[in-house]
Amino acid sequence: MLNEELMSQQLTYADIDEMQETFHAKAWSDGLPVIPPTVEKVRAMIAGSRRSAREVIGVIPPRYAEATVENVAVNAVMAGCLPAHMPVLVTAIEAACDPRFGLYSVQATTHPCGVAMMVSGPLAAELGIHSGYGLFGPGFRANACLGRAMRLVLRNVGGGLPGAGDHSTQGSPGKFSYCFAENEAATPWAPYRVDAGFRVEDSTVTVVSAEAPHNINDHVCTSGRNILLTAASTMATLGNNNSAGIQEGDLMVVLGPEHARQIADDGMSRRDVQEFLFEHARIPVRVHRDKAMWKMMKWPDWVDTGNDDTLVPIVGQAEDIHVVVAGGAGKHSAFLPTFGLYKSITRKIERGDY
């Protein structure tokens, strides 16, 4: 894609219009206009990564093509990123290429998951990755551009095109762009990255094979336990992949600051939240029987499928429920259902990379 004659610095409006049509015709765009990836812009993006242009970041399925720093930089320019965004994007791609994430299945499944990126740490604020009001929506440059760049790499390098490499039945808005930050200032516990084993001064990015956020609305409860019962009820619904009893994946719960504060004020830690949701977000066998993914389920050994009253958890262990605080004021939280077969991956963004 990087052609020095086509992508010269002297571009007229007519050149740019023609380039847009070329990119659309060749399916290099997500349907939105792209920034022309001129040689100058791509070189600046590569410089922002602090890596060699030819370095291979990972191999992207289903095409199994190499994601190099250079071709990632091309897609980052097209998405509207700044050079300073490159370390986050490169680290997120490395994380998505971890075999535990199952990128081939995430790319090729009929399920409507996208690759969500959650950034925790001081770099989020430095880059303006939004963590407050409307963080899953439009209006925030770093969120939109980073999420879009990830999708363009998955599409243009990996071949994740709808109906070809990507067989998602209906797709998802999360496949356009899906990037947000932890609201550390509103988090009543240690930052997410610290509980994940990193230092407070570190910055991390977590990739999640997430569906669009599902609202958890509780304007009534005045106890943390009851807020979490509302959350558990929202999570334990037949039809999402996590509810299928597969027990091999994980999921994410994004608590709004008001809900998180009430839960913490009632003396509950993040670990307490994980354990409570693990115990209460369960579905009786009778609800599962002969519906949804009944014949595809990989039941845990202890589940008695002959007993209609057996309660089946939606993940294999409490640690598989990742709890993050983000958003603005208001009594709302969010459940991020996932593909359900693989794990979310968290990587440190090395300070030496930027």
Q: Is 121 helix (H, G, I), strand (E, B) or coil?
A: coil
- Which of 14-18, 86-90, 217-221 shows the lowest mean pLDDT across its residues? 14-18
Q: Work out whether strand 56-60 and strand 65-68 pair parallel, antiparallel, or are unpaired.
A: antiparallel
Residue 283: is its pLDDT beyond 50? yes
Contact 228, 222 (CB under 8 A): no
Q: What is the pLDDT of residue 302?
A: 80
Q: What is the pLDDT of residue 290?
A: 86
d(CA 249, CA 127): 30
Q: Answer whether residue 95 is part of any domain.
A: no
Per-residue pLDDT tens digits for 17-34: 998 999 999 999 999 999
Q: Answer whether residue 127 is part of any domain.
A: no
Helices (H), 184-318: 192-195, 224-235, 257-265, 270-280, 285-288
Q: Answer whether residue 60 is part of any domain.
A: no
Q: Answer whether residue 146 is part of any domain.
A: no
**H or E stretch including 152?**
helix 141-156
Residue 264: is its pLDDT beyond 90? yes
Q: Which of 277, 270, 272 has its CA nearest to residue 251?
A: 277
Q: Answer whether residue 144 is part of any domain.
A: no
Q: Answer whether residue 40 is part of any domain.
A: no
Per-residue pLDDT tens digits for 43-89: 999 999 999 999 999 999 999 999 999 999 999 999 999 999 999 99
User: Residue 338 gets which letter from DSSP?
Assistant: B
Q: What is the pLDDT of residue 298?
A: 72
Number of independent structural domains in the chain = 1
Strands (DSSP E) contained in 247-337 are 251-255, 282-284, 311-313, 321-325, 332-336
Q: Answer whether residue 77 is part of any domain.
A: no
User: Exposed, middle or buried by CB within 10 Å (0-12, 13-18, 19+), for 110?
Assistant: exposed
The mean predicted confidence, pLDDT, of the chain is: 93
Residue 9: is its pLDDT beyond 60? no
Residue 220: is its pLDDT beyond 60? yes
Q: What is the pLDDT of residue 245?
A: 59
Contact 308, 285 (CB under 8 A): yes
Per-residue pLDDT tens digits for 293-309: 787 777 777 888 889 99
**Predicted confidence band of residue 10 (pLDDT cuts 50, 70, 90):** low
d(CA 320, CA 252): 8
Q: What is the pLDDT of residue 338?
A: 96
Q: Answer whether residue 103 is part of any domain.
A: no
Q: What is the pLDDT of residue 3?
A: 45
* Range(s) of the domain holding residue 305: 213-337
Per-residue pLDDT tens digits for 145-193: 999 999 999 999 999 999 999 999 999 999 999 999 999 999 999 999 9
Q: Which of 241, 161, 162, 166 has its CA nearest to residue 208?
A: 241
